Amino acid sequence: MRPSSIRYYFKEGFTGLLKNRLMAVASIATVAACIFIISLSCCIIGNLSSVLKQIEDTIGIAVFLDDNLDSEKINTISDELKAIPHVTMVTYISPEEALDSLKEEWQADDILDGFDGENNPLSHSFEVSLEGIEYQSDVLKGIEGISGIRNVRHAQSETQILLKLNKVLSIVGIAIVAILSIISVVIIMNTIKISVYTRRTEINIMKFVGATDWFIRWPFIIEGVLIGLLGASIPMAVSWPLYTKIVELIYQYFPVIKGIATLLDGYVIFSKLIPVSLIFGVLLGVFGSVSSIHKHLRV
């Protein structure tokens, strides 16, 4: 490939876009609209699964110990709990702390008035946090083997619901993004096909003056890359600030949400979404162009 040819490819790629402005704009707009919708779905799905995860993280296992254990035994139990696989954190809660939080929760001092100091009916306990709720039953089995434990409490039905939601969300999320992607590919390929169709005479002439297939393809590939890049940059430039604004509005109008979970920061989503969209856009542009001119090359 001569340097003069490379210059030619780029010049033709850029001027091709400018001289076929109408079709170029149509292609870019199609790519942009599709990627915008896909990125919007990613934002929604990403946040739903993040919120779900945060709720899951609050679900731990409460372990209540037998009465009259000395502090050495309590420490041993703590170490044994920590040694169980998939346990991330073990927090010791003394009877005094438990009583305080109970009082706070009930807001009715008079009922619990008689209980304090020596006269505390609550027992020593541990809050066990897990890597994920899917490990709950494994960890429970591990706890069974430890002596000195009076009672174990966990939120079984909530866990089941969350596990199901998690599964449904990931399936639905993948399905939505996959379907949108396929639809986008079809629409974008058609748009580019029309744009190449209007230039079939040009391709035909190139063939008759002895142009090789690759000589004809390169400018179209460069055009495809440009269409893809522009088509992906526009929705990214729009949807990041838009997302930030929407999160702000949600916090403003539904402050309740703050208590349950925090929404994802724009950076977390878009640091992944931007490179993926750009690559997706470029691949679409190139694949669309190359496959559309293929038919016209057979002269």
Partner 1 sequence: MIKVENVTKVYPNGAEGVKDVSIHIEKGEFVFFIGSSGSGKSTLIKLLMKELNPTDGQIVINNINTTRMKRSKIPFLRRNLGIVFQDFRLLATKTVYENVAFAMQVIESPSSQIRRNIPTVLSLVGLQDKAKAYPNQLSGGEQQRTALARAIVNNPPILIADEPTGNLDPDTAWDIMCLLEEINKRGTTVVVATHAKNIVDAMQKRVVTLKDGHIIRDVRKGGYSDEA
Name the residues that contact partner 1, by CB under 8 A: 2, 4-5, 8, 15, 19, 201-202, 204-213, 215, 299
Cα 195-235-189 angle, rounded to 5 deg:
25
Nearer to partner 1, 136 or 195 (CB): 195
Contacts of 33 (CB under 8 A, 6+ apart): 235
Q: Which one, 8 or 135, has the nearer CB to partner 1?
A: 8
Smallest gap from Cβ 293 to partner 1, in A, equals 15
User: Nearer Cβ to partner 1, position 22 or 108?
Assistant: 22
Give the residue with the Cβ less far from partner 1, 120 or 204: 204
Q: Which is nearer to partner 1, 19 or 150 (CB)?
A: 19
Centre a 10 Å sphere on the Cβ of residue 179 and count the other Cβ atoms it contains.
12
Query: How far apart (Å, rounded) are the C-alpha atoms in residues 5 and 23?
Result: 25
Minimum gap (Å) between residue 206 Cβ and partner 1: 7
Q: Considering the complex, what minimum distance in angstroms separates the CB of residue 167 from partner 1?
A: 51
| Sequence-separated contacts (24+) of 187-190 with Cβ below 8 Å | 187/30, 187/34, 188/27, 188/30, 188/31, 188/34, 188/231, 188/284, 188/285, 188/288, 189/284, 189/287, 189/288, 189/291, 189/292
CB of 188 to partner 1, least distance (A): 24
Tell the smallest beta-carbon distance from residue 205 to partner 1 (Å).
Answer: 5
